[in-house]
Structure 1
C-alpha cells in the first residue's frame, strides 16, 4: 500500500492530500480483490422492504464493493489536482440512509438495480491564499466567491425495471433483488423480494458455516434432471452419480424345452464418486438423471456437468436379452468415469436360460440393493436406485410374452463444501 511522504519545512501541495485519499482507496480496493476475487461484486445491508400501501420499495443503508476505476475524472482542480486514472480497481459504494424507489409497472418480474458511481459533493466557498496580500485570504478562486466540491464519494442510487440501466462512466450496475408484481395491483403487500447472489456472508458467518458444513451436512439426493446453484460460501462439491438400471428379459415359452423360457436380469447402473472445485460466480451444475430401462432395454446414463464440461458420468446397466432361442445372458453393469474417489462398474444381471438348463435371472443390485427378482409370467421391477429389473420365466401359453421387470432410475447424491 502506498503512503505519502512529507518533510518538515517543505511547502505543502494539494496533491499531497489528494494522493493520500487515492492511496487509501487503492489499498481498500486491492484488499477487497484478495477477499472476493478480482471483478467480484459483494453487497452488505441494503435491505429491500416492499410497501404495503403503495407501489414502491425502500432500500436500507448498506454498501457494495464492485469493479470501478481509480478516478474516472480529474481529482481536485482549480489549477492543480490529479489527472483522471482509468486503472481498474474494486471500489466501495455506500448508501448511508433509506431510499424509496417507485415501481412504475405491474404484471412483470422486476429487478432492483444499484447504480454505483462516484460524484463530487459538499460544495463550499473556500478560503484561498492571497499572494498580493498574505495577511488576507480570498473567498474562492480569484476572490470570486464561487463554490467548489469538497468531497468525492462513492454513492448508490437505485432503479427498478425489467432490464439493467446503462452503467455510469467508471462505475457499475448491480442486480440486488428480484420480485414479481401481479397485474393491476395498487400495493406491494405480500410481495417477497429474492436476494441476488451478491450478498456474501461475513468472515465470522463464513467461519461458523465452514465448521457446520464440514461437520454436519449430509449428502442430498437429486432424483430428477435439473440444475444446482452453487452457494456463495462453497468452494467444492462432493458428487456421486448412479446410472439407471437395465430392464429384465421377457419369456415366451412354457418349458425350457419349448424355447425362450427363462429370461435374464438387467445390469445395474455404474457408480461414479468424486470431489470437485466450484466457484459461485461460474454458474450452476447441470444434472441429467438416467432413466430405468424398460424390458430388455439399457438404462440411461446419469451425467453431471459444470461450466460446459462433464465432471462425472455413470452409464446405465444393459438390459437382459436372449442371445439365442434358448440362451439368455444377464445384462452387463454400466461403466463409470470422471470420479475422483472411485469409478465402479454396476453389478451384472443374473443369467436366465442356457439350453434346457435355467438359472435365476435376477436383476443386478444397485448400491442400495433392490435388484428385481426373476418372476413367473413376469419379472419383478427393481426397487432401488440403479438396480436392474428381473427376468421373466414361463408364459401363459407358448408364443405369448411375459414381460421382464423394469430397471430403476439413477440419481445424484451431492453436498457443497467450504
Structure 2
C-alpha cells in the first residue's frame, strides 16, 4: 500500500493530501480484490422492503464493492490537483440513507438495479492565500466567491426496470433484487424480493455455523419450472430429477367377455440423481423443467435441469397404460433417466389390466415415494406422490360408456447447494 511522505519544515502542497486519499482508495480496492477476487462485485446491507400499500420498495443503507477506476475525472484543481487516473480496481460505493423506488407497472418480472458512480459534492467558498495582502485571504479562487466541491464520494441510486439501464461514466450498474409482480395488483403485498448473487456471506457467517446449517439443511423441492440462482458461496449443487407418472387406461366394457373391461396402470417417471459443479461468478443460472402428470392414457412429462445451455440430468415420464387389443391391456413402461452421477433409475411398470378373460391388478406404478394409483371400478384412482402412475379403470356404469383411467402424478426436482 502506498503512503505519502512529508517532511518537517516543508511547505505542504495540495497534491500531498490528494495523493494520500488516492493511495488509501487504491489500498482499500486491492484489499477488496484479495477478499472477493479481481473484477468481483459484492453487496452488503441494502435490505429490500416491499410496500403492502403501493408498488414501491425501500432499499436500506449499505455498500457495494465493484470494478471501477481510481479517478475517472481530475481531482482538485485551481491550478494544481491530480489528473484523471484510469487504473482499474475495486471501488466502494455507499448508500447512506433509505431510498424509495417505484415499480413501473404490474404484470412484470422486475430487477432492482444500483447505479453506482463517483461525484464531487459538499460545495463551499474556500479561503485562498492572498499573495498581495498575506494578512487577508481570498474568498474563492481570485476572490471570485465561487464555491468548490470539497469531497469526492462514491454513491448509488436505484432503478426498477425490466432491462438494465445504461451505466454512468466511470461507474457501474449492479443488479440487486428480482421481483415477480403479478398482473393488476396495486401493491407488493405477498411479493418476495429475491436477492441476487452479489450478496456474499460475511466472514463472521463463514466462521460460524451459518454456512454449515445452510449446507446441512434438507433439500428444497421445486414443483414448477423456472430458474435457480446460484448463491455466492456455492461451488456445487446436488440435484434429483423425477419424471411425471403416466396415466392409467380406460375401461369400456361391463365384463371381460364383452370387450375392454380391465384397464392397466401407468408407468412411473424416471429418477436421476447427481452432484454437479457450478460457478457463482458466471452469469449462468440453472434452468428447470418439471414433467407434467400424464392424464388418462397419456405419457408423463420429462423433468430436466440444464446449466449454461447443457442438460445436466433428465428423467422421462412414465408411459400410459393402454389396450393393445380389444381384450388385452398392458401396463405402461417406466420413464428412463440419464445424466445422474449417483444413479439413473428407470421408473417401474404399471400393472397389466386384462388378458382375454383374465382381469389383473391394473395398478399404477409407485414413484420413488410410493403413491401409485389403485385400479378402480368405474374409474381408476389418480396417483398421489411424485412420479407415480395412475390406476387403470375396470367395468363401466352402463354399456356404451367409458370409465376414466387415473392420472399420474407430476415430477419434481430436489436440490441443495454445496460449498
Q: TM-score range by the shorter chain?
A: 0.7 to 0.9
Distance 1:151 1:191, change over 3 A: farther
* Residues 117 and 152 of structure 1, relative CA distance in 2, 3 Å threshold: farther
Aligned ranges for residues 361-380 of structure 1 at < 5 Å? 361-380=362-381
Kept in 2: contact 1:395–1:401 (CA 8 A) = yes
User: Aligned-pair distance for 1:279?
Assistant: 2.4
How far the C-alpha of 1:350 sits from its partner, in A, is 1.9
Secondary structure of the equivalent of 1:28? helix
Quickly say closer, same or farther: Cα 1:127–1:192, change in 2 above 3 A.
farther
The answer for the alignment partner of 2:223 in structure 1 is 223
Unaligned 5+ runs, structure 2? none
Farther-moved stretch of structure 1 (148-157 vs 372-381): 148-157
**Structure 1's 151 and 342: CA in aligned 2 closer, same or farther, altered over 3 A?**
farther
2:175 and 2:293 map into 1 onto residues whose CA distance is 41
1:50-61 maps to which residues of 2 (within 5 A)? none
Separation in structure 1 between the aligned mates of residue 267 and residue 104 of structure 2, nearest angstrom: 57
Deviation readout 1:152-200 (Å, 9 max, x if unpaired) = 53332546676887543212345667999xx9x9xx9x99995853554
Does the 8 Å contact 2:2/2:27 carry over to 1? no
Once the two structures are superposed, residues 87-126 of structure 1 have per-residue CA deviations (whole angstroms, 9 ceiling, x without a partner) of 3332112345x47779899999999865433244566446
Deviations 1:227-248 (A, max 9, x none): 4454555444332221111112
Match of 1:154 in 2: 153
> Shift of residue 280 of structure 1?
7.7
Measure, in 1, the Cα distance between the counterparts of 2:49 and 2:381.
55
Stretches of structure 1 lacking an aligned partner (at least 5 in a row): 131-135
- CA distance change for structure 1 residues 353 and 204 in 2, over 3 Å: closer, same or farther? same
CA distance in 1, matches of 2:135, 2:152: 28
Q: Distance in 2 between matches of 1:107 and 1:248?
A: 41
Look up the SS of the partner of 1:94 in the other structure: strand
Number of equivalences: 405
- CA spacing shift, 1:139–1:343, aligned 2, 3 Å: farther
Shift of 1:313: 1.9
1:42 equivalenced with 2:72 (yes/no): no
* 1:133 corresponding residue in structure 2: none
1: distance between equivalents of 2:90 and 2:356? 76
Q: How does 1:167-316 map to 2 (within 5 A)?
A: 167-174=167-174, 197=196, 198-206=198-206, 207-215=208-216, 217-231=217-231, 233-276=233-276, 277=278, 279=280, 282=283, 285-316=286-317
SS in 2 for 1:402: coil
Query: Conserved in 2, the CA contact under 8 Å of 1:118 and 1:152?
Result: no
Report the CA distance between 1:203 and its aligned residue: 2.0
Query: Could you say if the C-alpha distance between residues 39 and 127 of structure 1 is closer, same or farther in structure 2, counting changes exceeding 3 Å?
Result: farther
CA distance in 1, matches of 2:158, 2:24: 30
